[in-house]
Chains A and B, each alone.
Chain A
Amino acid sequence: MWAAAKHPAFAGRSLFVVQPLDERGGDAGASFVAVDHAQAGVGDKVIVLTEGNGVRQILKAGDVVPIRSMIVGIVDHVVTE
């Protein structure tokens, strides 16, 4: 996803549309937009933080960062019982 006009807090940050999945890879809920913090690519299975305070802790950019969802990891595989 790309966007030229952005709030300054999003300057230089990649954005992805993310589809939540269950443990078997099936869709689980509505898609949303997340800032990338893990050099993810389209089609990657990722871990997404959807809590603003955690995002602010990671970015260390102060207390007034209006970012709520962030890709924080890329999943290699999932093991289920």
Chain B
Amino acid sequence: MYLGIVKGTVVASRKAAGLEGQKLLLVQPVDEHGAAVGDVQAAVDTVQAGPGDLVYLVGSREAALACDPWFVPVDAAIVGIVDGVDAPHAGKAPP
């Protein structure tokens, strides 16, 4: 799982079967400091996130498992809205 910041909304009226009604958001993956990591991606939203929210996502097969129905072609899903990150040891080896 990984952190991301919601950058926008994807509107797609024609989607694969099972994805009807699923909200798609554009997400920039970030590290614990909010710095961008990798490319922006489209992700299914399961928690009513909105633009600017720091969220955490699950990828691969587990992304589809976050959806209902779960046998759907999805490879990233937003599964939580982050309220805070405490990372005092980030960027160096723990003591």
Contacts and interface: CB of A to CB of B under 8 A. Distances in A.
Contacts of B2: 30, 32-33
Interface in A13-30: 15, 17, 19, 21, 25-27, 30
B81 A67 contact: no
Interface residues of B: mostly helix, strand, loop or mixed?
loop
B12 to A, nearest CB: 22
A42 B89 contact: yes
Kindly state the interface size class of chain A when it binds its partner. Answer: 20 to 34
Contacts of B48: 5
Interface string B22-49: 0000000001100001000000001111
A80 B2 CA distance: 30
B6 interface: no
A44 B64 CA distance: 31
Contacts, number: 103
Given A43-B89, A45-B94, A68 B84 contact: no
A3 interface: yes
Contacts of A17: 3, 32, 85, 87, 90
A45 B46 CA distance: 31
B47 to A, nearest CB: 5
A27 B94 CA distance: 10
5 nearest A-B residue pairs (beta carbon): A66-B66, A7-B79, A25-B93, A33-B1, A66-B65
Interface of A: 1-7, 9-10, 15, 17, 19, 21, 25-27, 30-35, 42-45, 52, 64-69
Given A42-B86, A65-B62, 10 more contacts: A3-B56, A3-B80, A7-B47, A7-B77, A27-B91, A27-B92, A30-B37, A42-B88, A43-B89, A67-B1
